[in-house]
Amino acid sequence: MSEHEVTLTINGESVTRSVEARTLLVHFIREDLSLTGTHIGCDTTSCGACTVLVCGKPVKSCTMFAVQADGAEVETIESVAVGGALHPLQEGFWEKHGLQCGYCTPGMIMTAKNFLANNPNPTEDEIRRGISGNLCRCTGYNKIVEAIQYAAEKIQADAGGE
């Protein structure tokens, strides 16, 4: 197999590794970098458990090759809490019981993080559309939506928006 050198910034840290051309970004993140918060759910882009941010945009990492991320900035769930303080989304999922098994949660949070950055004051319908590419097999999504609403309100309050 042909090896390719990949250099990217992941969670603010530059890393360089040699990978096979066929290595998926999700496997690179989990196996080569030992960042196991990104989950593998379906390998077909259906569930969103593997969602990470690539250059600020949500990407299902099970359908992107690591070599395609060469030069990119990648953010995983491990970077969301800062200095031991939960991000408002993480706090929202905790406070509003937005998870049951938790398997989809990292992908949901990464998708919602980008969504709230682009829509800081969303309606319930906008949230539901915003997370529609991420599946949860345990909940009815109501608590997930409440968690994202909680985070939106907290982020605005922290920014002095309310």
121 and 66 in a common domain: no
Range 117-126, long-range pairs (CB < 8 A, 24+ positions): 117/56, 120/152, 120/155, 120/156, 120/161, 121/152, 121/156, 121/161, 122/148, 122/149, 122/152, 124/149
Q: How many domains does the chain have?
A: 2
The secondary structure element, H or E, covering residue 130 is: helix 124-130
Full pLDDT tens readout for the chain, 162 residues: 689 999 999 999 999 999 999 999 999 999 999 999 999 999 788 999 999 999 999 999 999 999 999 999 999 999 999 998 999 999 999 999 999 999 999 999 999 999 999 999 999 999 999 999 999 999 889 999 999 999 999 999 998 865
DSSP 39: P
93 and 74 in a common domain: no
Residue 46 lies in a domain: yes
Pair of tokens at residue 82: 């800062």
111 and 64 in a common domain: no
For residue 41, give the CATH number of its domain: 3.10.20.30
Domain boundary among 22, 55, 78: 78
Q: Which domain holds residue 49?
A: 3-78
Domain boundary among 26, 50, 78: 78
| Cα distance between residue 69 and residue 76, in whole Å | 13
Task: Say if strands 73-75 and 51-54 run parallel, antiparallel, or are unpaired.
Answer: antiparallel
CA distances from 93 to 43, 49, 104, 120, 162 (A): 25, 15, 12, 17, 21
| Cα distance between residue 47 and residue 141, in whole Å | 14
Residue 83 lies in a domain: no
Residue 132 lies in a domain: yes
Identify the bridge partners of residue 52 per DSSP, sorted by sequence position. 59
Domain boundary among 36, 59, 78: 78
18 and 72 in a common domain: yes
Q: Count of CB atoms within 10 A of residue 30's CB? A: 19
For residue 144, give the CATH number of its domain: 1.10.150.120
pTM score? 0.94
pLDDT at 161: 60
